[in-house]
């Protein structure tokens, strides 16, 4: 076995290493949710920022559930291999932006003390939407969420995301320290304002004075993030060893493309993230809407249709002419719902997405993308339908994507291998869709509370969905896809 990665010395000459001495830079960021995406996106961009602008901006990573990231990274002094893949092959880059990694699953005190340390100026998060305990309807916290409920009972010993943030901010207030900037890097629409509302609601239930202080002093910038990052596999680690000559248990892989649009609101300063490709703007919303409708919306469509057509990876979906045609149709339909955006050509953006989805070097599983659909469909697909209606545009692609999700959420197994639905509302969905007929499934949608009243009342839309869903429930998905693509004007 090769030596364990723990230093940047004696690496092959074609392996990129940090353009700075990591030990010369202190920690300025605490990151909650130390998964693959954070290491491929936030940490990689921070690595470039440190090389360009310096500063004490290294990242202490906190895993909220599993000790595995800390166990993998600590013996490696926080170093890990980032494998960037495109059509020309794979390149290895050693990231030095992590100053350490800890797990807060059993003991949150080290994470709290790190956030309260005066050196901490930014707390970033990638924990997935379901971990926050957000209530979209009230734009506050969800007191029924298990982590929120537990932390409201015992706010001084929190383990959930909102509880940790509020406790750390309260400790800073008590110590006379300014609040850190809270930067959500999860793929949520209006992620900054939404997280701010949940934090303020939680804080108000614990201490109204603290809630007022946070509202007046703390910043919650909005962001839009984008970089396809598959879950690492044993093959990832084998490839990292081949490229670097070192055993790296924390290696991850990603595409060459990345995008990060950030509202520029950092009272305590920030790294020179623009050196890593970040774009700072006054209003993130138009960029966010573009990504949600086009990238994420087409991702959902291809995930549900592709998975049930036997396509394991996104690249397999794009290699199928009929599925690829439906993805292109959806990109066109989504672009038609968007306003013009300065500096962005939507047709070029669509072509770039097709190229990224088709990248043969990225093994992004459709089943992974298909998880948490009840949280994703409202922003990715449902929100586009009224916009399409207002412009007199065809809504069939959105109906097809909705039917594909409902077919997945119903758990119907007539043409696929058994699978476990991965969704925070899995139990409710299973109960609602016990009757596997298309008519019964459509009738159950309103009680789930995931679609807005105006969409629920769009009877013509749901008639189209029901017609497509009936086909999906009675015929193999690949046959439905072929007929749909053949009938599509853009195919």
| Spatial separation of the C-alpha atoms in residues 76 and 73, rounded to whole Å | 5
Question: Six-digit token pair at 294?
Answer: 């086009």
| Spatial separation of the C-alpha atoms in residues 60 and 54, rounded to whole Å | 17
Instruction: Give the pairing of strands 259-263 and 223-226.
Output: antiparallel
| Spatial separation of the C-alpha atoms in residues 173 and 191, rounded to whole Å | 24
Give me the count of residues in the chain: 491
| Spatial separation of the C-alpha atoms in residues 226 and 185, rounded to whole Å | 10
Q: Which residues pair with 140 in a beta bridge?
A: 135
| Spatial separation of the C-alpha atoms in residues 241 and 250, rounded to whole Å | 11
Q: Which residues pair with 184 in a beta bridge?
A: 125
Q: In what order do the strands lie in the sheet with 252-255?
A: 89-95, 80-86, 252-255
Question: Six-digit token pair at 456?
Answer: 């629920």
Q: Which residues pair with 100 in a beta bridge?
A: 60
| Spatial separation of the C-alpha atoms in residues 373 and 378, rounded to whole Å | 9
| Spatial separation of the C-alpha atoms in residues 312 and 310, rounded to whole Å | 6
Cβ proximity of 275 and 53 under 8 Å = yes
- What local confidence, expressed as pLDDT, does residue 316 receive? 97
Question: Six-digit token pair at 379?
Answer: 């922003």
| Spatial separation of the C-alpha atoms in residues 15 and 91, rounded to whole Å | 7
pLDDT per residue, tens digit, the chain (491 aa), is 799 999 999 999 999 999 999 999 999 999 999 999 999 999 999 999 999 999 999 999 999 999 999 999 999 999 999 999 987 789 999 999 999 999 999 999 999 999 999 999 999 999 998 899 999 889 999 999 999 999 999 999 999 999 999 999 999 999 999 999 999 999 888 999 999 999 999 999 999 999 999 999 999 999 999 998 988 999 999 999 999 999 999 999 999 999 999 999 999 999 999 999 999 988 999 999 999 999 999 999 999 999 999 999 999 999 999 999 999 999 999 999 998 877 689 999 999 999 999 998 888 899 999 999 999 999 999 999 999 999 999 999 999 999 999 999 999 988 888 999 999 999 999 999 999 999 999 999 999 999 999 999 999 999 999 999 999 999 999 999 999 999 986 54
Sequential DSSP letters for 327-392: HHHHHHHHHTTSPPBTTB-HHHHHHHHHHHHH-TT---BHHHHTTTHHHHHIIIIITHHHHHHHTT
Instruction: Spell 277-302 as b/e; 16+ CB within 10 A means b.
Output: ebebeeebebbbbbbbbbbbbbbbbb
In the chain, the domains with their CATH numbers are: 22-281 (3.40.50.720), 285-487 (1.10.1040.10)
| Residue labelled with tokens 């199928």 | 320
CA neighbor of 122 nearest in space, from 191, 196, 194, 57: 57
Cβ proximity of 219 and 123 under 8 Å = no
State residue 231 phi and psi, 5-degree precision: -65, 135
Q: Is the dihedral of CA 133, 373, 289, 34 positive or negative?
A: positive
Coil/strand/helix, residue 2: coil
| Spatial separation of the C-alpha atoms in residues 149 and 394, rounded to whole Å | 43
In Å, what is the CA distance from 201 to each residue of 40, 159, 183, 194?
A: 32, 17, 18, 11
CB proximity list for 113: less than 8 A, separation 6 or greater? none
- What local confidence, expressed as pLDDT, does residue 143 receive? 97
Give the count of beta carbons closer than 10 Å to the beta carbon of residue 209. 12
- What local confidence, expressed as pLDDT, does residue 490 receive? 53
Coil/strand/helix, residue 139: coil
3-state helix, strand, coil in the chain (%, to 5): 50, 15, 35
Question: Six-digit token pair at 323?
Answer: 């599925």
User: Between vectors from CA 176 to CA 170 and to CA 179, what angle results, nearest 5°?
Assistant: 55
Q: In what order do the strands lie in the sheet with 223-226?
A: 223-226, 259-263, 279-281
Cβ proximity of 206 and 155 under 8 Å = yes
Question: Six-digit token pair at 195?
Answer: 């997280």
| Spatial separation of the C-alpha atoms in residues 41 and 259, rounded to whole Å | 9
What's the DSSP call for residue 106? S
Question: Six-digit token pair at 35?
Answer: 């998964």
Q: Is 400 exposed, middle or buried (0-12, 13-18, 19+ CB in 10 A)?
A: buried
Considering the entire predicted model, what is its pTM? 0.82
């Amino acid at each position: 076995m090769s030596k364990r990665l723990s230093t940047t010395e004696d690496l092959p000459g074609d392996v990129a290493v940090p353009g700075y001495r990591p030990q010369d830079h202190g920690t300025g960021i605490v990151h909650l949710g130390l998964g693959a995406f954070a290491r491929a996106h936030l940490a990689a961009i921070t690595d470039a920022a440190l090389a360009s602008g310096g500063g004490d901006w290294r990242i202490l990573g906190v895993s909220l559930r599993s000790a595995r990231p800390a166990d993998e990274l600590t013996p490696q002094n926080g170093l890990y291999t980032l494998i960037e893949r495109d059509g020309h092959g794979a390149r290895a880059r050693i990231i030095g932006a992590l100053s350490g990694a800890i797990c807060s699953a059993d003991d949150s005190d080290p994470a709290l003390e790190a956030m309260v340390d005066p050196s901490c100026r930014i707390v970033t998060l990638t924990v997935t939407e379901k971990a926050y305990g957000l209530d979209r309807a009230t734009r506050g916290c969800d007191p029924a969420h298990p982590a929120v409920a537990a932390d409201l009972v015992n706010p001084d010993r929190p383990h959930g995301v909102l509880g940790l943030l509020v406790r750390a901010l309260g400790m800073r207030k008590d110590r006379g320290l300014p609040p850190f900037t809270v930067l959500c890097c999860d793929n949520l629409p209006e992620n900054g304002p939404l997280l701010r509302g949940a934090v303020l609601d939680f804080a108000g239930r614990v201490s109204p004075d603290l809630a007022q202080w946070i509202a007046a002093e703390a910043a919650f910038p909005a962001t839009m993030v984008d970089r396809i990052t598959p879950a690492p596999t044993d093959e990832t680690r084998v490839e990292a060893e081949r490229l670097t000559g070192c055993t790296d248990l924390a290696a991850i892989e990603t595409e060459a493309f990345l995008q990060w649009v950030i509202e520029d609101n950092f009272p305590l300063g920030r790294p020179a993230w623009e050196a890593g490709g970040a774009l700072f703007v006054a209003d993130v919303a138009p960029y966010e809407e573009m990504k949600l409708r086009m990238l994420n919306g087409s991702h959902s469509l291809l995930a549900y249709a592709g998975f049930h057509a036997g396509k394991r990876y996104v690249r397999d979906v794009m290699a199928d002419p009929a599925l690829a045609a439906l993805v292109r149709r959806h990109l066109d339909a989504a672009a038609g719902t968007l306003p013009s955006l300065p500096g962005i050509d939507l047709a070029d953006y669509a072509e770039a997405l097709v190229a990224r989805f088709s990248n043969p070097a990225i093994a992004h599983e459709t089943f992974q993308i298909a998880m948490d659909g009840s949280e994703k469909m409202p922003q990715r697909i449902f929100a586009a339908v009224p916009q399409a209606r207002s412009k007199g545009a065809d809504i069939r692609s959105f109906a097809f994507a909705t039917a594909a999700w409902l077919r997945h959420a119903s758990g119907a197994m007539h043409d696929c291998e058994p699978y476990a639905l991965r969704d925070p509302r899995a139990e409710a969905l299973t109960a609602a869709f016990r009757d596997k007929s298309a008519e019964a499934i459509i009738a159950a949608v309103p009680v789930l509370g995931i679609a807005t009243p105006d969409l629920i009342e769009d009877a013509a839309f749901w008639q189209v969905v029901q017609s497509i869903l009936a086909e999906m429930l009675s015929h193999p998905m690949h046959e439905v896809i072929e007929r749909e693509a053949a009938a599509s004007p853009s195919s």
